[in-house]
Structure 1
């Protein structure tokens, strides 16, 4: 009896919390999935690391497991989505890591940025890359590794060092030594010229990076596919948020997506020309697809989203993320608006505050706790803090565009009805919720199919479905009052950033003596 052959496209989403491979058929339906959780270690406070070899193994395992789960599956092509700003150093000849992967959320490179702040070199970096100095981007962590990891410094000296974003490492290991990245990922490094989409030699020199150590820049959808050890060619590579943009149909200027994962990242399509935004937003490149116009975007990141919810669970205050939503819903339902204005506030800033405030050293802050505060109140405060921070970014996007952005949401937390209602209320507009949450995988698989000539960008965008829209219910006057209270809170927390507290303590001690 003949076995039915199902042609499938693999979308590999190598994210912060897990590696996931989804298989999609020619119509874009997900037919299989496999997942491995990632282990993040914290050698010191503010340090976030992962084992590079374990990440490569997870990619191999999930691809093979997913394909094996579909009888008669024929793997036609692969797309790879990566974490963006996370980096790793490895031996160019052997492919073996010289360090752990240092994640995008890691804050150890703050001193590198501080030394450049306010200098002519720092201004040059910002002008060329379109990004304001911050340890969030890859360049500062590369500089830190070159200065502080002896194995990295030794490899730099003998010419065997490769250092870059994680995609370049994965491709080197999976595609027979190829060493490439794409502009959507390169734009997250703070080493790429926004205008010519190449790593800039002068910018790299500012960070002490020899441009020869970096991967070659190629199109997001490769002009020529790369053979791999996984049984099918690699057709596309992109930063995770930009792959999700494509899958969510954010292909026209002004369209905006909000992806609620470990953090929440808000990306707005701004068209076919580079844009250096104000309002605390970052510029990013979206994709290069043969036969399609170039696409740029602007982005703002809320660095702690699911991380904050998972933290409540880890503390034992809830059994699951779903229960956090239930508790928050009960707290919201039990209070009218005036009483809710007395609920605790939470700044979700375990790894600093991103756009539009950009406070790299900020830590999480609760305010307004009482003896009567219970886990329902804390759950509401955490979800409210996430929604408020996302609204900070949406307000900045609106100011940049001069009009209200059209909002689409995806990611695991977009299934939390309490959070999404709060988000719509604070933004004051409808939010279309994607029917499917794994849009990074769907996007990069679709880009792979585009690379094989089986799909185009319009066809990929048309696959996005939104059968549920959350409408705002909060009166504009109440929304304005809540946002004003939030702004007062955020501004007040500046004095509580750990370095400021320490400086104030030193000053007080000196005055006392």
Structure 2
């Protein structure tokens, strides 16, 4: 019998199931798109029933391909901060899920800042007061949705992030979240085991609607939905899972994931992180109640910019075209894009910012705009690099992953603009791999995370910097000028 780890990877634009063998090879995949709902400018929603149904459909499809009896463990990784509200009795959602990109609570966050709450919130949770995080989304649902309010009054309301929603249905009703996801809500102190009643009071979120906070990997729960009792042995937010998949186990090791957004995490070991430069402290993982932390920089728009060029502007017909277009011209022709389509994240945190395309002329065409879109990834990452260095966590190298990182031109541009080596594994979908590693160790298939990574990670390619300092400086000057216009 072959042992497989089945990963449920529920992202922003799609959800999927992947079966990994214990050498890290993918044995089977099933994937379904998720419908994006944009009811108003700045609002982003998902249908929570669609997330559940399509994820479980993918799970059953992969189980049929590899044999349910061969699945030794299940791991779950997910888009973070997205909030689902559901009825504990029926198990059905009470409203659409509010997605992490959603900006509708910007004014509420501004009010809390003006009242002077941000320093205390940041000290406790490592997070800033921004619509990105979960608590203000929960408050908005309570204030604006009658079904959510009624469920809260009746004691039937359950709030959770996506892994909690999926776990509820996999287990037949367990209401739990792992510490890595819980640390993204604004309700969990970094150094406390449970959600904090004082923070719940500040945001107006009923404590009894929240899930139990549990470990990231280990003997967490089990499911019988595959026809046999199967352990669920790993839960992690997508960016923490990618950090595990990139083997960033030592203090200071850093990864960047380029998916819908872009997220950089630096391992801080057992040190509770604090930033003076608008970065975030987060739980990387927890086992046996003991936590490992990370310092994080979050960029809201990365791959979604390329999707926008394709779907809204029609400049490209597929994301893969951007590499050839970028290589077809010597430079962007002075075009610079600030992709603030959902505001700006770290280190700027401008919730109301809007995107800018600067430097257009009659000489600007598809190639220049596509190249400028890819260049924006390095520009945003450079801003993060400066903030990490100012916080005493400078990078000597960067490990990249995510769908966008398969673009060789972009990987080289990152190395050039950051002036450090950039490593990319052959398996760029390290979010799913990290979830598999966590579940494999949690189920006892390997003795340690390091053992699992040695067996499952595979090889890496390194991109060395080769850009002249003059070109780098000129690019950054154009970026700074465009950034000032948002």
Q: TM-score range by the shorter chain?
A: over 0.9
Matched, 1:313 2:310: yes
CA contact (8 A) 1:22 1:442 kept: no
Alignment of 1:344-383 (within 5 A): 344-383=335-374
In the alignment, which residue of structure 1 is the partner of 2:165?
169
Flag the 1:397–1:457 CA change in 2: closer, same or farther, 3 A. same
Cα shift readout 1:305-326 (whole Å, capped 9, x = no counterpart)? 1111111112221121111221
Task: Tell me the C-alpha RMSD between the 2 structures.
Answer: 1.7
3-state SS in 1 of match to 2:160: strand
Output the CA distance in 2 between the equivalents of 1:347 and 1:366.
Answer: 6
Output the CA distance in 2 between the equivalents of 1:405 and 1:93.
Answer: 51
Cα shift readout 1:73-94 (whole Å, capped 9, x = no counterpart)? 6111101111110001100122
3-state SS in 2 of match to 1:320: coil
The alpha carbon displacement at 1:71 in A equals 5.8
- Which of the numbers 286, 295, 299 marks the counterpart of 2:296? 299
3-state SS in 1 of match to 2:234: strand
Output the CA distance in 2 between the equivalents of 1:432 and 1:54.
Answer: 36
Output the CA distance in 1 between the equivalents of 2:413 and 2:24.
Answer: 31
Which shifted more, 94-103 or 451-460? 451-460
Which shifted more, 123-132 or 448-457? 123-132
- Which of the numbers 259, 278, 291 marks the counterpart of 2:257? 259
Alignment of 1:87-126 (within 5 A): 87-126=83-122
- Which of the numbers 451, 460, 466 marks the counterpart of 1:467? 460
CA contact (8 A) 1:432 1:466 kept: no
The alpha carbon displacement at 1:402 in A equals 4.9
In the alignment, which residue of structure 1 is the partner of 2:276?
278
Output the CA distance in 2 between the equivalents of 1:403 and 1:109.
Answer: 32
In the alignment, which residue of structure 1 is the partner of 2:474?
481
The alpha carbon displacement at 1:168 in A equals 1.5
Output the CA distance in 2 between the equivalents of 1:228 and 1:397.
Answer: 44
In the alignment, which residue of structure 2 is the partner of 1:154?
150
In the alignment, which residue of structure 1 is the partner of 2:37?
41
**TM-score of the pair, normalised by structure 1:** 0.90
Flag the 1:461–1:72 CA change in 2: closer, same or farther, 3 A. closer
Matched, 1:326 2:324: yes
CA contact (8 A) 1:95 1:169 kept: no
Matched, 1:429 2:427: no
Output the CA distance in 2 between the equivalents of 1:152 and 1:461.
Answer: 42
The alpha carbon displacement at 1:262 in A equals 0.6
The alpha carbon displacement at 1:296 in A equals 0.4
Output the CA distance in 1 between the equivalents of 2:394 and 2:317.
Answer: 41
Cα shift readout 1:244-298 (whole Å, capped 9, x = no counterpart)? 111110111111111110111111111112111222211110001349x631001
The alpha carbon displacement at 1:228 in A equals 4.2
Output the CA distance in 2 between the equivalents of 1:485 and 1:317.
Answer: 23
Q: Can you give the 5+ residue segments of structure 1 that lack an aligned partner in the other structure?
A: 495-513
- Which of the numbers 242, 245, 264 marks the counterpart of 1:244? 242
Output the CA distance in 1 between the equivalents of 2:98 and 2:396.
Answer: 33
Matched pairs, number: 481
- Which of the numbers 386, 391, 398 marks the counterpart of 2:377? 386
Output the CA distance in 2 between the equivalents of 1:178 and 1:172.
Answer: 5
3-state SS in 1 of match to 2:84: strand
Flag the 1:118–1:258 CA change in 2: closer, same or farther, 3 A. same
In the alignment, which residue of structure 2 is the partner of 1:14?
10
Matched, 1:493 2:485: yes
In the alignment, which residue of structure 1 is the partner of 2:449?
457
Output the CA distance in 2 between the equivalents of 1:420 and 1:434.
Answer: 12
The alpha carbon displacement at 1:108 in A equals 0.8
CA contact (8 A) 1:348 1:386 kept: no
Q: Can you give the 5+ residue segments of structure 2 that lack an aligned partner in the other structure?
A: none
In the alignment, which residue of structure 2 is the partner of 1:505?
none
Matched, 1:62 2:58: yes
Flag the 1:166–1:403 CA change in 2: closer, same or farther, 3 A. closer
**4+ long deviations beyond 4 Å:** none
CA contact (8 A) 2:256 2:400 kept: yes
CA contact (8 A) 1:109 1:144 kept: yes
3-state SS in 2 of match to 1:404: coil
Larger CA Rg, structure 1 vs 2: 1
CA contact (8 A) 1:257 1:268 kept: yes
CA contact (8 A) 2:401 2:428 kept: yes
Output the CA distance in 2 between the equivalents of 1:398 and 1:159.
Answer: 47
3-state SS in 2 of match to 1:6: coil
Output the CA distance in 2 between the equivalents of 1:270 and 1:405.
Answer: 15
3-state SS in 2 of match to 1:77: strand
- Which of the numbers 70, 73, 78 marks the counterpart of 1:77? 73
CA contact (8 A) 1:266 1:301 kept: yes
CA contact (8 A) 2:252 2:393 kept: no
Output the CA distance in 2 between the equivalents of 1:426 and 1:322.
Answer: 22
Cα shift readout 1:394-441 (whole Å, capped 9, x = no counterpart)? 222222235434200111111111211111111011100111022111
Output the CA distance in 2 between the equivalents of 1:288 and 1:403.
Answer: 25
3-state SS in 1 of match to 2:264: strand
